[in-house]
Chain A
Amino acid sequence: MKIDRGDGVRLGLVSLLSAPPLGFATFDFMFPNISTPSMGKNLLLILALSLLAGMPAGYFQKRTDLAMMSVILYTAVGYIMAVVLYSAPYTIYNIENILPSFYYAMFFRFTIILLLLYVLGGFVGSILGQLIRDWIPGEETKLEFEGTPETKA
C-alpha cells in the first residue's frame, strides 16, 4: 500500500476531525449523567454517530484502503481523546485518582462494544461517503442537461 504526501495529510486531517465525536461518545457512554448533551448509553445513536463520523473518510479519500485506515486511525485518536477527557480532573487539578483499576476497566474492558460500533459504523459510513461523492457529479451532470432548453426540445 503506497501512501504519498497528499494521502498522508488527508489521513491526518480526517483522523483529527473525525476523532472528537468518538472521543465525546466514549466519555458520554461512561458518564452520561454529567456530559452535555448526553446520548444516554443509546447504542443506536452511537452507531448513527459513528456512521456520520465515518462518512468524511470515504468522501475525501478515493482509495478504499486509505478510507478504512482513516477509520481505524480516528477511532484510536478518539479513544486517546476520551482518556484525556477522563483524566482532566486528575491532571489539571492534581486530584488523586483513587481507583486506577477502574480507569483501565472503563476504557479497555467496558468499551469493547463501543469499539466494535465505531469501526463497523465507520466502515459503513466511509462506503456511504464514497457513494455520495460518486453520486454528486452524476447528479450535477443530469441537472445540467435537464436544465438546458435545447436539450429538452
Chain B
Amino acid sequence: MPLMKSIKEHWVTVVLYALFSVFFLVCSVVSAGTYSAVVRTQRNVELINPTSGVSILPNGSLELDFSIELSNPSRYVLHTQTISWYATLENGTTGPNMIITLGTAYTGPTTGLRVPPKSEKNFSFSSVVSDPAIIARLNGFINYSAASGHTYTLTTLPYNHQFSFIGTIGEFKNDYLREDYLNKLVTVEVTYSSGAMP
C-alpha cells in the first residue's frame, strides 16, 4: 500500500508528528479536566449550618450571635477576597429608617484567610447593641407590631442575618483587567440570608 510505504519511508517525521499531536491532546484533556473541576467547585461550595442567637446582657444591652460553615468539597484551596455579615431588622416602613442595622463585619482581601480543600470552615460573628437610641427603635417596633397582632420581645424579633463569602479558587490568575470573565471563572461567591432581602 503506498500510504504504508510512505509512512515507513518517513517514519521519523511521522513519529515526531504523532508526538506533537499527542502532546496537545494530553494538554487538552488536562485543561478540560481542570476546567471541569473549577466549574464543579463553583457549584459545590456552599454555606451550611447557619445558627443565630439573641441574648440580653445584665446591663440591658442586646447581644446578637451568628455562625455559619463554609463547605469546600473541592480539591482547591479557597483564598478569601471578602467576607461580610450584616445583622438587621426590617422596620416595615419606607424611607431612610427602614433598616435598623444591629451588627456588621467586613473582611477584605488582605487577611490571607484560606479555606483548605475538602474541609469546612466556621465563621462566627457577634455584635453588642448598647446604643439606647437603637434599643428604643427596637422597642418601638415591638409596640408597633403589637398593634397589628404580633407579640415580639427583644429576643424574638425577626432579625435578619446576611452573610456573603467571595473567594478565589486555587492559585489561578484572577487579576485580569479586561477579561473579567476569567476572573469570574475562578471566583466563588456564596451568600446566605435568614430572611427576606430588603
Contact = CB atoms under 8 A, between A and B. Distances in A.
Interface size class of A (residues with CB under 8 A): 20 to 34
B6 interface: yes
Nearest to A4: B2
A35 B20 contact: no
Interface in B1-59: 1-3, 6, 10, 13, 17-18, 20-22, 24-25, 27-28, 30-36, 38-40, 43
A52 interface: yes
B27 A24 contact: yes
Contacts of B18: 17
A61 B33 CA distance: 35
B31 A21 contact: no
A33 B182 contact: yes
Contacts of A16: 21
Interface string A12-29: 000011101101100110
Contact of B35 (A20, A34, A59, A60): A34
B3 A10 contact: yes
Given A33-B172, A34-B35, A93 B17 contact: no
Given A18-B21, A20-B21, A89 B35 contact: yes
Interface residues of B, number: 34
Contact of A21 (B24, B174, B186): B24
A112 B20 CA distance: 25
Given A21-B20, A27-B28, A9 B35 contact: no
A16 B28 CA distance: 14
B31 A85 contact: yes
Given A34-B186, A95-B39, A21 B3 contact: no
Given A17-B21, A20-B25, A24-B27, A36 B32 contact: no
Contacts of A86: 35
A37 interface: yes
A67 interface: no
A11 to B, nearest CB: 11
A60 B3 CA distance: 10
Given A28-B31, A35-B27, A89 B36 contact: yes
Given A20-B24, A21-B24, A93-B40, 20 more contacts: A17-B21, A20-B21, A21-B20, A24-B27, A24-B31, A27-B32, A31-B31, A31-B182, A32-B182, A33-B172, A33-B173, A33-B182, A33-B185, A33-B186, A37-B27, A81-B28, A85-B31, A89-B40, A93-B39, A95-B43
Interface of A: 6, 9-10, 16-18, 20-21, 23-24, 27-28, 31-37, 52, 56, 59-60, 81, 85-86, 88-89, 92-93, 95, 102
18 contacts: A20-B24, A23-B24, A24-B25, A24-B31, A32-B173, A32-B182, A33-B173, A33-B185, A33-B186, A34-B38, A35-B27, A36-B27, A36-B31, A85-B31, A85-B32, A88-B32, A88-B33, A95-B40
